[in-house]
Amino acid sequence: MVSDTLLAVENLTTVFDVRPTPVVAVNDVSFEIRKGETLGLVGESGSGKSVTAFSLIRLVQSPGRVAGGKVIFQGRDLLATSEPEMRHVRGAGIGFVFQEPMAALNPVMRVGAHIAEALIVHGLASKSDARARAVELLRAVLITDPEKRVDDYPHQLSGGMRQRVMMAVALACKPPLVIADEPTTALDVTVQAQILDLLRDMKREFDLSLLLITHDLGVIAETADRVAVMYAGRIVEQGTVREIFHDPMHPYTRGLLASIPGGGAGSRLKAIDGTVPNLASLPPGCSFAPRCPARMAVCDTAFPPVTAIDREHTVRCYLHTSPDPGARIPEPAGTAR
């Protein structure tokens, strides 16, 4: 772990104890977030991105449980931290912007009360000062007429404004890390762009580190410094945005990039064959093997180990490693980058 690492996740595993077979939703996941950077966690729906986020702050609901690993935040393991201490970490240490603000905001609380509550709980404002601070935060996230909107209920605001309120709540205690879980999914394109611009502005103004969870590679390209690509509960490739977009190593990453619209008018969109596997019945070996155009016999034997392409770029794929020391597995035709 380098000295500027804010969060280091090591071999995180989260299991849902359901019948007849427990489901491993997050499997041996490792990554780090450095001070001042944005890490994009990307993958299809059902890949385990949101479960990873909730595991970090220990909000996985039963029958789910974090079964192993470490989450080192500012030098201490959050998985070994008491629940009272975790209540301080949530909000003051790690802010969270939820995917659907209408579900996250209490419908019978005014939006200003949501912000004030975060400040009061963490001892950062008295009841008399909290309202004024809530107005300042609403103004910071570009809510128009914040003195009036502070007394609105969530249903009185548009989707974009509710997401801004969620950002104000997440930023209220000036945490060093914010997790944004699909913050633009339910918004129209114009509002998405505004929220992304606001995230970048807030990151710079508040000197934040950001874990940005999304299935949208366009969002990653605009916002992130580094990328972790997730598939069926595992991270299959990590690297800088430039490395992932210009020199992807994993066939799944290549498929995601190839599926981005951008061809000529009338051209067919490219899709990855098959569907994301059921986590309760994953195939043996590499979970992407049934959909992979470069599938080899070894892919069905065991999940590939991590291979370092360079200092920043890692991949879990037998195209770039070999189970037999000294042997080399040639890259099949049709997978040239």
Strand 226-231 and strand 234-240: the pairing is antiparallel
Q: What is the Cα 243 distance to its own chain's centre? A: 19
Q: Which residue shows structure tokens 């991590």?
A: 306
The two tokens of residue 72 are 């080192």
Residue 56: closest CA among 36, 38, 81, 37: 81
pLDDT value, residue 322: 55
* Predicted confidence pLDDT, tens digits, the chain (337 residues): 446 999 999 999 999 999 888 999 999 999 999 999 999 999 988 899 999 999 999 999 999 999 999 999 999 999 999 999 999 999 999 999 988 888 889 999 999 999 999 999 999 999 889 999 999 999 999 999 999 999 999 999 998 999 999 999 999 999 999 999 998 876 788 888 888 888 888 899 889 999 999 988 888 998 999 999 999 999 999 999 999 999 999 999 999 998 887 666 667 778 888 888 889 889 989 999 999 999 999 999 999 999 999 999 999 999 998 544 334 444 433 343 3
- Domains, the chain: 5-224 (3.40.50.300)
Predicted local confidence at residue 269, as pLDDT:
75
| β-bridge mates for residue 237, sequence order | 229, 315
3-state SS track over the chain: CCCCEEEEEEEEEEEECCCCCCEEEEEEEEEEEECCCEEEEECCCCCCHHHHHHHHCCCCCCCEEEEEEEEEECCEEHHHCCHHHHHHHHHHHEEEECCCHHHHCCCCCCHHHHHHHHHHHCCCCCHHHHHHHHHHHHHHCCCCCHHHHCCCCHHHCCHHHHHHHHHHHHHCCCCCEEEEECCCCCCCHHHHHHHHHHHHHHHHHHCCEEEEEECCHHHHHHHCCEEEEEECCEEEEEEEHHHHHHCCCCHHHHHHHHCCCCCCCCCCCCCCCCCCCCHHHCCCCCCCHHHCCCCCHHHHCCCCCCEECCCCCEECCHHHCCCCCCCCCCCCCCCCC
- The pLDDT, as a whole number, for residue 335 is 40
**Residue 329, pLDDT score:** 42
The pLDDT value given to residue 328? 41
pLDDT at 286: 96
Side by side, the strands of the sheet bearing 226-231 are 94-97, 177-181, 209-214, 38-42, 226-231, 234-240, 314-315, 307-308
Q: What local confidence, expressed as pLDDT, does residue 334 receive?
A: 39
